[in-house]
Structures are given as structure tokens and as C-alpha cells.
Amino acid sequence: MADLESDLSFQLHENLSIGRVPQWILTDPGIYELEVQRVFASNWYFLGHESEIPNPGDYVSRWYVNDPVIVSRGNDRKINAFLNSCTHRGTMLCSADFGNKANFICPYHGWTYSLEGKLNGIIAGDKIYGTEMDRSEWKLRKLPRLETYHGLIFASLNENVVPLDEYLGNLKWYFDILLGRSDKKMQVKGVPFRWVVEANWKIGSDNFGGDAYHTAMTHRSTVELGIAPKDPMFASYGHQVVLDNGHGLNVITPSPVAPKVPPFQGLPEVMWPMFERNLTEGQLEVFRNTAVIDGTCFPNLSFLSPMHGTGGHAHLTNFLTLRQWRPLGPGKMEIWSWFLADVEAPEEFVQESYKRYVNTFGPSGVLEQDDAEIWSRITSASKGLMARDKTLSYNNVMNYVMGLDSVEPDPNWPGPGIAYPTCYLEAVQRAFYEKWHECIAKD
């Protein structure tokens, strides 16, 4: 892995500080290699949600970029994450997406591991192995760190990564609203959607993290249909909040010229007392007046909690989706999309919520479709000599100057972070790229 040359690193830093992002970082294979090591392996990486593996023996197969991982629940109910590979010759142990097992048996020579990863069984072990093997040295290989927050399972390949709590930092205050508002919290419904898009993973993080500005144009078809308001500023109302460690979000409030939306994103009234129990005054104030929350947990976990109807402004229904932009190379990613609902939400509401999710933000979603299409057009236009020129002699930088040094934070914002009083801003994206640069510039 070639290091980032110090003059390039300096140039990146200089440009980022004035809202310019060199276009070559979207398609450069060298940068991609650095990202795998220094962005993904060094930080916390999202693997799934606890509700996907409720019982002992339950497992899901996931990918930590290119490492196959078994995320499973042991008999002690604790969650483990193992490299999905036998310690004998490296065979993949679980090739299904999920299931329930009493132990993991390798199909090659039959080595058998407990749910906790202990090498328990070896075919004819007593006859063929003597003192040359101490079984305790051949356990399944655990990912060095695993921690959870409100059911979100994160792992890290970096033994020395800061605790998850500290890493999430002030994003937790907003995760409390999205994931911790109910007594029994949230659960994943169904299996995640997965699809492949020819786009750089950073574009997904950048778009969900802060790009409210794209909605009026990218999703103009929904404006033409009368599903979204005509006011070109409709996604600008509210606050863009820059958080710790490259995290950030938009808290979008209803357009003052559009019909009113009910409190708490229209979630059923029977749930409100629960929110009042679990959230602070400040969190309630924010949540009560919100239409849409979208954001990114650095590096590649995004979240979206909007309200959508079947047409017009009737029956706007909220849903929560988590997104992972799993990189498959500099110009390609696999999108994973989960749907979550409050455990206590009325079943009828959950069904309607799921339908709105599928209809707007699944691979067939009438909003989603256009995002992926346009992101792939960025890749198509960023592979040539001009876009990839590292001396930037063709002005091959992307423009992130919106609101740079001209929008002041709102001192009255009740939540943590630096909150600017508009969502048409690129402060979150600038902070994302600065954190990204800090990671890849590090030795």
C-alpha cells in the first residue's frame, strides 16, 4: 500500500479547507486501498442489528468491506463477530445469509466450533493429533472489537480504536431519538435489500449525510407528480448539524408554505407517552417538530427517517431505514438497506410504514431510483485524465463551498453539535471529507 505522498496530502487539506474536493479521490485505486486500511479497518464498521439475531445460535453473514464475517449470538446470549473462515485451511464456514446453528462445522475436514468460537471437535482428533496441537490456539478468529449502541452492532479490526461510545460521540443524542425513543427500542423487519451500483461509496455517505440540496432537482419527478412540494426551498428548512468524528445530519422541519405535518413524524399517538418517558426535553422538542431526519455515521452507515404518502399530502407515513455503502472498489458499491420499526408500534402502522419504505427508498423506490442513477453518472465522468489529474490543472475539483464561512451556527439549538439554521448547506460534507482526510493521511 503506497502512502499518500505528503505534498498530495497537503494539497487535499488545502483544498478541503476552502470547500474543494479533488475529483480524483472518487476513482483512484491507490486512495481506495488506503481507505480500506485507514478508514474502514481503523474505525468502527456497522455489521447489523441485534434484532436480526434474537436467539442463541442465530447468525447472519456479513461483510466488513472484503472480510466475510459471522455475526452470531452465543449460548450466553452475547454477540460475537468471527472471520467467516476455518482456522485449518481457511474454508468459509457459513455460506448462507442467515440461520441458526448449534455449532459451526467446516465442510472441508470437519473441524467444529462452538457458538463462542471454541474448536470443539476434530474428526478422529485424538488419533491423529498429538502434542503438536493445542486446540485453544485454533479458535475462530474474533474481530478485535465489538460493541453495540441501541441494538446497532459495530465491530472494528483495530484493537486500539476508541470505545464505540466515544466514537459515536454527540451522534448518540440523535440516535436516541431515532433508535432509543421506545421502551423496547427498534427492530429490523424482514431481510435487508442488497443491490450493486457503479458509484463511489463516499457519494452515498455525502448525499445522505448532508445533501438536502439535491432533492428539488434529483427528485423533481416527485415534485412534478405533486408528491413533493413545489417550493424549491422545501428541504432547506430546519438545521444541518455537524457532529463529532465526521458524523452529521439534517433535521428538516416542515416547509412553512406546505400543509402542516403531525408531531413526531406522524407516529401513532399511542406511542407518544413512551417517547416522553425515554427522551429529554431537548430531544422531544427536536423530534416533535421534525419532518425528515437524514444523516451519516462516519464512514459508511447512513440513516433516513422521512415521511411519505401514496400521493399528494395525505397520509404521510414515517419509516426508518439504515443504509450501508459497502465499497467494492473505487467505482462500485453494494448498497444494503434495512427497514426498522419500533417494537411497540401498532402492526397496522408498521405494515403501512414498510410499504412507504419500499415504494420510495427500496431499489424500486420512486426517489431511490434517481439517486443511484445520478451517482453512477459521477463515476462515469470521473475516470479520465482530466478528472484524475492530481496536479488539479484542469480545475478538477468538486464544489463544496455552499455556506462556507457565511452561515452562522444557531445558538438556540437544543441539541449537541454545531447546528446551522438551514439544510441547504455543505458543512456536514466538508466535515466528512476532513475526517476522511485525517484518516488516510495518518501513518
Partner 1 sequence: MTITDSGRIQIETYLEICQFLYFEAELLDDRRFEEWLGLLTEDVQYRMPVRVTKEKADGSDIEEPSSYFEDNLVTLTSRVARLGTKSAWADDPPSRTRHFVSNILVQPGADSSEYLVTSALNFVRNRGSICVSDQLTGKRKDILRRVQGDLKIASRDVYLDQVVLGTPNLITLF
Residue 106 contacts ligand FES per CB under 6 A: yes
Burial class (CB in 10 A: 0-12, 13-18, 19+), 311: exposed
Burial class (CB in 10 A: 0-12, 13-18, 19+), 286: buried
Closest contact distance (angstroms) between CB of 173 and partner 1 is 31
Residue 189 binding partner per list ligand FES, Fe ion, partner 1, none, with a CB distance cut-off of 5 to 8 Å that depends on partner kind: partner 1
What is the distance between the alpha carbons of residues 18 and 15, in angstroms, rounded to a whole number?
Answer: 5
Segment 143 to 202, residues that bind partner 1, using CB under 8 A: 189-191, 193-198
Closest contact distance (angstroms) between CB of 196 and partner 1 is 6
Residue 89 contacts ligand FES per CB under 6 A: yes
Residue type, 118: K
C-alpha to C-alpha distances, 303 to 106, 201, 283, nearest whole angstrom: 36, 15, 17
Residue 35 contacts Fe ion per CB under 5 A: no
What is the distance between the alpha carbons of residues 254 and 243, in angstroms, rounded to a whole number?
Answer: 22
Residue 111 contacts ligand FES per CB under 6 A: yes
Q: Which of 67, 244, 371, 426 binds Fe ion (CB under 5 A)?
A: 371
Give the x/- contact pattern for partner 1 in 376-395, rule: CB under 8 A: x-------------------
Residue 106 binding partner per list partner 1, Fe ion, ligand FES, none, with a CB distance cut-off of 5 to 8 Å that depends on partner kind: ligand FES
Greatest distance between any 2 Cα atoms in the chain: 80
Residue 221 contacts partner 1 per CB under 8 A: yes
Helix (H) or strand (E) holding 297: strand 292-297
Closest contact distance (angstroms) between CB of 84 and partner 1 is 13
- Cell numbers describing residue 183: 421502551
236: nearest Cα among 253, 258, 218, 257: 253
Closest contact distance (angstroms) between CB of 314 and partner 1 is 11
Q: Which of 5, 76, 100, 108 binds ligand FES (CB under 6 A)?
A: 108
What is the distance between the alpha carbons of residues 395 and 397, in angstroms, rounded to a whole number?
Answer: 6
Q: Decide whether 61 or 305 has the Cβ nearer to partner 1.
A: 61
What is the distance between the alpha carbons of residues 29 and 31, in angstroms, rounded to a whole number?
Answer: 5
Instruction: Work out the angle between the directed axes of helices 427-441 and 201-210 (0-180°, nearest 10).
Output: 140
Closest contact distance (angstroms) between CB of 106 and ligand FES is 3
Q: Which of 13, 78, 109, 230 binds ligand FES (CB under 6 A)?
A: 109
What is the distance between the alpha carbons of residues 255 and 137, in angstroms, rounded to a whole number?
Answer: 61
Q: Decide whether 123 or 401 has the Cβ nearer to ligand FES.
A: 123
Residue 28 contacts Fe ion per CB under 5 A: no
Which residues contribute to the site for ligand FES (CB under 6 A)? 86, 88-89, 91, 106, 108-111
Which residues contribute to the site for partner 1 (CB under 8 A)? 95-100, 189-191, 193-198, 217-218, 220-225, 227, 310-311, 334, 354-355, 358-359, 362-364, 366, 368-370, 372-374, 376
